[in-house]
Structures are given as C-alpha cells and as structure tokens.
Amino acid sequence: MLVTSVLGMTIKYFTYFMNRDSPYLLWGIGVGTTIQLGELMLTCAEDYRLVYCGPDHFQDIFRFLVISDMVRLLTAAMFNIAAGGYYTWRVWMMCGRKIYMIPPFAIGGMVQMMMTVMAVVHGCKLPEITVDSIKQLPEKMPQILKLFKIWGAVTLVVDGALCIIMTILLFKTQDSLFSKETKVFRKLISLVYETMLPPVICLIILEAASGSKGTPLMGKPTADMRRIITCILPVLYYHSALHTLCGRQDLRDLLEDKLASGGIHAISNGSGKGSGGRVYAAYPPGLRSLNNEESGIEMQSPISSSSTRKNPQMPMIKVEQTTVVSRSDEYILSTPEAISMPRSSTHDDNDLGKSDDEKSVMTNKSAPVHHS
C-alpha cells in the first residue's frame, strides 16, 4: 500500500515539476522510487523464505534474513539522511536562515550514519548457522543489537527535534500548505507529512519494543513483529519527503483559486526552458466580461534567473483639444468694434508652417455690433 502511494506521488511529482525542479532532484526522485520497488521485492523474498523454509529449515535462511535486514537498515539510514537534510533546510528557511539551526542536525545525521555503517559491518560478519558457528552467536548478537539501539536512539532524537520544530513553525507561519488549507482533514494530513511524523512514531514504537523484554511485539525470529516497522521505515522517510515536495503544487492551486476569486487568472504557467515565470491577467468582475482580458492590467511573477524578458515599449498617445470660449452680451457691447486688417502673405506663410496641434486651440469672437 505504501509503495503504491509512493508510485502515485512520483507520477504527480514528475507531472507538475518535470520542467521546474533541478535535474539532480529529478534523478534523485527517480532513483528513490526505484529503490522502494527493490525494497518491496526484497520483502516479498523474505516472506517467501519464512513461509516455506522458516518452520523446518531456519538455519538455511538465517544469513539471508540477516543480510536483508542490513540492506534495509542501510537504505533506511540513507533515506533518513536525505529526508532529514530536506527538513533541516526547511527549518533553516522558515527560521530566517539562522545558521545555528544547521549544525545540531548535521552532527546528529553524521552520528546516526556512523552507527548504521558499524551495525551493517558487524551484521554482515555473522556466519551461517552450523554446528561450529552457532556457539559464536551469543557473543556477536548482543553487540549488533546494541549498535541497532544506539542508531535508533540517535535517529529518534534528531527526527523528533525536527518534528517538534517544524510543528511550531507551521503554526506560526502563514505561507505553508498547512496554514492555507481550509478543510480540517487536509490540514491534518499536511501537518502529519510536513513534520515527518509517521517515521517518528514508528521509531518510538521500535525503541520501546527493543528496550524491554517480553513485549507483545517480540517473539520468535520468524514471527518478530518489529520486522514490520523495520520494513516500512525506509518507505515512510521517502514518502514524507515526497509528499511535502508535491504539496507545493497544492499550495499553488490554493493561491491561484484565491486570485481567481478576485478576478486574476493565470495565462502562463511559467514552465519550460527559457520561461519568464508565471504570468497572470486581471479580468473585470461581472458575467459579461468573463474570460475577457482587461486591457492594460497584467501581472507577472519574478523572472527566472536563466532568462530575461524585454519590457514592452509604451504606446505614444497624442491628445488634441479644441476650446470654444463664449462671451456674454454685456461683454460684447462694452468691447469696441474690431478693425479687420487685411491678411498679408507673410501671415499665410506662417500659418502654413504651423502644425495642426498649434491650430487646434481656437477662440472665436462674436461679430461686431453696429450702433445707430
């Protein structure tokens, strides 16, 4: 079920972010999904051998089970480092890029990776069960289990701290998917995956079951329920990070719906090489103007660093105005009769040299009044 969800999230990720994210991140997502499919096949192989060989011939499959567990532990540590690095980067960004937030999580990640390598090396040294080698198991197994417990404790501390800090920051910020969601269930889902909560809960259960003897999860080697948690840990780390990456599209959809309610619609998604970013156009409210772009109003998101877009030249506007001034009768009576002067040729030439704009403003006087 988890692998099916991972496949769906991977398809969604490549659908929306194929032309936007870094090629290294795209390759990482592809390799991560391939590893998850390999983990599923490894789990099926373990189950097959436990069902058909476990009850009667456990000595034949013991080393295979140990090597499989070591491979799963190594992949869990790798996905933990990747997911922890991504969530640490998010904490760093949400805290205002404060540099002191990075070293504690970086040191914790290196320590848990060292414990993982040591546990895997000691686990791979376990021999197959024979009459001679079975006497060595009581001496080697406690050391391997101790390294497992140290790895689980360090990982739980680092991931638990990230989970708590991310939860606090999500409640404070207003720019996350958690704050933009309006439905309670979707808010809960976004909070669970944006804080890496599922693997933290599994680590708590695993450490509680490993620290005390006689717990219901512990049993025979062929029926140890802790194997379920160790099998799903790598998938949970990868699924949490992948869900958070795909949540960026959900956040973009929410913002576009909010802009659309105000009359602003996207006319370009900004994807593709050489894109200038997402372009939005404003539409005037009303049913008659639906999908009719309002002239002169256009908003564009910040232009990507890979390309620049030339600013369009503004159109030149020419304004002509004609003014007619009317006079009252009293003003006309009080004004002496105008003497008409013959127009000379020089005036005609000057008039020809004048532009239409200079002739556009004219004041007409009333005709002279003759007194009896």
Is the pLDDT at 206 greater than 70? The verdict is yes
179: burial class by Cβ within 10 Å (0-12, 13-18, 19+)?
middle
Confidence band (pLDDT; 50, 70, 90) for 368? very low
Confidence band (pLDDT; 50, 70, 90) for 332? low
Q: Give the up-direction half-sphere exposure of residue 253: CA atoms within 13 A in the CB hemisphere.
A: 8
Sheet holding 264-268, edge to edge: 264-268, 279-282, 298-300
The average pLDDT across 298-315 equals 47
3-state secondary structure the chain: CHHHHHHHHHHHHHHHHCCCCCHHHHHHHHHHHHHHHHHHHHHHHHHHHHHHCCCCCHHHHHHHHHHHHHHHHHHHHHHHHHHHHHHHHHHHHHCCCCHHHHHHHHHHHHHHHHHHHHHHHHHHCCCCCCCCHHHHHHHHHHHHHHHHHHHHHHHHHHHHHHHHHHHHHHHHCCCCHHHHCCCHHHHHHHHHHHCCHHHHHHHHHHHHHHHCCCCCCCCCHHHCCHHHHHHHHHHHHHHHHHHHHHHHHHHHHHHHHHHHHCCEEEEECCCCCCCCCCEEEECCCCCCCCCCCCCCCEEECCCCCCCCCCCCCCCCCCCCCCCCCCCCHHHHHHCCCCCCCCCCHHHHHHHHHCCHHHHCCCCCCCCCCCCC
Confidence band (pLDDT; 50, 70, 90) for 29? very high
Is the pLDDT at 306 greater than 50? The verdict is no
Asked which of 10-19, 130-139, 212-221, 313-322 is least confident by mean pLDDT, the reply is: 212-221
User: Residue 184 and residue 203: Cα distance in Å, rounded?
Assistant: 27
pLDDT of residue 370: 47
pLDDT of residue 176: 66
Asked which of 82-86, 230-234, 288-292, 329-333 is least confident by mean pLDDT, the reply is: 288-292
3-state secondary structure 221-259: HHHCCHHHHHHHHHHHHHHHHHHHHHHHHHHHHHHHHHH
Cβ-contact 114, 123 below 8 angstroms = no
Is the pLDDT at 364 greater than 80? The verdict is no
Across the chain, mean pLDDT equals 74
The average pLDDT across 348-367 equals 46
Q: What are phi and psi of 289, to 5 degrees?
A: -100, 20
User: How many Cβ atoms sit within 10 Å of the Cβ of residue 104?
Assistant: 14
pTM: 0.66
Is the pLDDT at 184 greater than 50? The verdict is yes
Is the pLDDT at 318 greater than 50? The verdict is yes
Confidence band (pLDDT; 50, 70, 90) for 7? very high
For the segment 217-266, what is each residue's pLDDT rounded down to a tens digit?
454 554 566 778 888 899 999 999 898 888 887 777 776 766 666 656 55
Residue appearing with tokens 């002239």: 295
Residue 154 tokens read as 């360090």
pLDDT of residue 11: 94
pLDDT of residue 275: 46
Look at 189 and 16; give whichever has higher pLDDT: 16
pLDDT of residue 295: 42
Look at 200 and 259; give whichever has higher pLDDT: 200
Is the pLDDT at 156 greater than 50? The verdict is yes
Beta-bridge partner residues of 282: 264
For the segment 123-137, what is each residue's pLDDT rounded down to a tens digit?
888 888 777 778 878
pLDDT of residue 59: 76
Is the pLDDT at 308 greater than 90? The verdict is no
Cβ-contact 295, 284 below 8 angstroms = no
